Structure 1
Amino acid sequence: MSHPPVVGLIANPVSARDIRRIVANAGNLQLPDRVNIVLRLLAALAATGVGRVRMMPDRAGLAAMLQRHLARERRQGHVLAEVELLDMVPGATVEDSCRAARLLRAQGATAIVVLGGDGTHRAVVRELVAGAGDWRQTVPVCGLSTGTNNAFPELRESTTAGLAVGLYASGRLGAEVALVPNKLLDVRIDGAAGTRHDIALVDAVIADARLIGARALWKPEGLHSVYLAFAEPQAIGLSSIGGLLQPVARTAPGGLAVQLAPTPQGRQCVVHAPIAPGMVCPVGIARVESMPAGQPFDVGLPAGVVALDGERELAFAPGERVQVRLRENAFATLDVGRCLHEAAARGLLWAAA
């Protein structure tokens, strides 16, 4: 007897509240906006036969507000997937997303919908790829952009995302149609105290600042190099530097390494890149080269910090060796567009007249 599909939901209630929202005049989704996104998702999931969603609890009031809105929707006769909160005590840190991802993987979630920015998606994927030997072994992610620089989660309507996830979770679309493999960047720091590892989904940026300080990077000053899993010219954020120099698609092999030149000496060119919403800054470029998968790139800076997907995460000191390596076929995501094209071709959302 088959079990009903379970879809996971990790919604960061406080994404898009870093300093870039202040300095770049960017907007900010309030809790009611996030709740409405989730309600549309739940309605679409229910329409495809997914009756249950397991959701990360939070301390900001998102889950509580959602439950009140769900009761109102049901009183009005609307059909939405049921929401069950994961058995965990939230701490209002990124560890909430990490723990929720571990719980959902252990509980056999068919797919996980993530609401957040690049940082939230990185935290979730980091847990899902741990111990996985191949992208087909990871729980697939469907990302909904609610962060600041959102280079990884694409802007899409939660209704169509819910339809795609539901068609896959209910078994009406197979993995060979619904899922695509994704690249990531492995960052390794070796020193006398041991080895540290982390990942980035879009970019690993090396800066010469010795203190982590404010987590979000929003100034080009002090940047040394940028390593990119993919580089899209329409992106907002530090990955746009590479995207406007030598675009690399998400599905293309290889990545991109860009060495920056803060002074005119050694510059090949200057690119004007949108490194944050409303902020287009000149960035001096010394060298651009392709990153083949599996090849380690040594960071030629004696000390500084590594920013992963736009946030300073790892400080390194003199004597420590930093390497960045591109990994292909690392984790799975839902291809929403392809799912809905296939649904149209097969008539999966048709009903008898």
Structure 2
Amino acid sequence: MSTPTLGIIANPVSARDIRRVVAHAGNLQISERVNIVIRVLQAARAAGVQRVLLMPDRSGIRALLDRHLKRGDTELPELELLDMEPTSTVEDTFAATRLLQRAGVAAIIVLGGDGTHRAVVRELVAGADATLSALPIAGLSTGTNNAFPEMREPTITGLAAGLYAMGRLDAGEALLPNKLIEVSILNGAGAPRRDIAIVDAVVTQDRTVGARALWKPQSLAAAYFAFAEPEAIGLSSIGGLLQPVGRRDPGGLSVQLATDARHALLHLNAPIAPGLVRPVAVASWQRMVADEPQAVSAEAGSVALDGERELTFDPGERVTMTLREDAFHTLDVKRCMAAAARDGLLTTRIPNP
């Protein structure tokens, strides 16, 4: 029998985009990221996990962890670095996800923002088969605009993931299905370009990717949301303040944005980044039905996936957005811990003398 194993992908450079400058948001230092990883490891070990695979990096997480491990902490599981050469790009996340899949980990704990989680999910979906498609992620928020990962104490996430990895929680109760937006760009010659967003895919009139991070509403043409919650920060707040759609609700939401006041139905003050509440001109909005592609009307521009511009398209190319339901799984930490309390999974009975 193989040893129950968890995977950890900790992005050392999440929350370093331009929004941190223009929005006066905080910046999570490497030392605090290491502290988060250590708390996850300690909790996973308390739940019984003896082996964890970690993505290596060049930014200091590995070095500080090594320093801690040399102190002889006996409350940590065996920690192994994945056999890969880090490049300090998103390719590290893609490669680490593939390696964790092949290693047969029970779950992947992700430290990062929406972009990091999207990168993990993109690789899971791309490589999914009947076995791999059920591999869940447990997200911890360390990015700028965090609509997808939870703001939760890492110790609790580590406990929940550890109990699941040890087989003490049933998948039907511990896991939740999630939606995503599939982006397709077809130019009539060859296979279409495809990508995904786990929160929002936003079309802009910008013809270049530039600094990637999207924080100015003036160039927005349309937005497509897998879910949109009114308390969210980021571009998904546009949909959340118009017509909220929950993570577990069927369907999504598409919003057409106006380029001038004559075509605007209303102006919405949306918190598009920490500290930035900006007016957005809205022309119309409608629900998205699963598996029904919606054509993008803009003739050319770029597509931002979960807040970062990733794709460009030219005149003559056809862009469609399609909502996919039950696309990947996440660990429901709250429900996991409720089951642990109900079934006494963290309780040891003291025998009568």
TM-score tier by shorter-chain length is: over 0.9
Match of 2:41 in 1: 42
Match of 1:25 in 2: 24
TM-score of the superposed pair, with normalisation by structure 1? 0.97
- Per-residue CA deviations over 1:95-138 (Å, capped at 9, x if unaligned) read 00000000000110110000011111111111111143679833
**Percent of residue pairs identical:** 61
For residues 234-249 of structure 1, the aligned pairs below 5 Å read 234-249=231-246
1:172, CA displacement in angstroms? 0.4
Partner SS state of residue 71, structure 2: helix
Q: Is residue 9–residue 108 contact of structure 2 (8 Å, CA) maintained in 1?
A: yes
For residues 5-154 of structure 1, the aligned pairs below 5 Å read 5-72=4-71, 74=73, 78-132=74-128, 137-154=133-150
Bigger mean CA offset, 190-199 vs 3-12: 190-199
The separation in 2 between residues aligned to 1:15 and 1:334, in whole angstroms, is 21
For residues 224-263 of structure 1, the aligned pairs below 5 Å read 224-263=221-260
Bigger mean CA offset, 169-178 vs 125-134: 125-134
The separation in 1 between residues aligned to 2:137 and 2:72, in whole angstroms, is 27
For residues 154-303 of structure 1, the aligned pairs below 5 Å read 154-194=150-190, 195-303=192-300
The separation in 2 between residues aligned to 1:315 and 1:263, in whole angstroms, is 23
TM-score of the superposed pair, with normalisation by structure 2? 0.97
The separation in 2 between residues aligned to 1:134 and 1:145, in whole angstroms, is 29
Shift in CA distance, 87/131, structure 1 to aligned 2, threshold 3 Å = closer
Q: Is residue 135–residue 329 contact of structure 1 (8 Å, CA) maintained in 2?
A: no
The separation in 1 between residues aligned to 2:111 and 2:10, in whole angstroms, is 4
The separation in 1 between residues aligned to 2:128 and 2:61, in whole angstroms, is 31
Partner SS state of residue 244, structure 1: helix
The separation in 2 between residues aligned to 1:263 and 1:351, in whole angstroms, is 65
- Per-residue CA deviations over 1:289-330 (Å, capped at 9, x if unaligned) read 000000101000110000000000000000000000000000
The separation in 1 between residues aligned to 2:36 and 2:72, in whole angstroms, is 14
- What is the root-mean-square deviation in Å for CA atoms of aligned residues? 1.2
1:347, CA displacement in angstroms? 0.7
Q: Is residue 203–residue 301 contact of structure 2 (8 Å, CA) maintained in 1?
A: yes
The separation in 1 between residues aligned to 2:140 and 2:40, in whole angstroms, is 10
The separation in 1 between residues aligned to 2:188 and 2:285, in whole angstroms, is 31
Indicate which of 332, 335, 340 corresponds to 1:338.
Answer: 335
The separation in 2 between residues aligned to 1:307 and 1:328, in whole angstroms, is 20
Runs of 4+ in 1 over 4 A off after TM superposition: 133-136
Q: Is residue 134–residue 331 contact of structure 1 (8 Å, CA) maintained in 2?
A: no
> Runs of 5+ in structure 1 lacking a partner?
none
1:61, CA displacement in angstroms? 1.4
Q: Is residue 181–residue 323 contact of structure 2 (8 Å, CA) maintained in 1?
A: yes
Q: Is residue 124–residue 132 contact of structure 2 (8 Å, CA) maintained in 1?
A: no
Equivalenced residues, count: 349
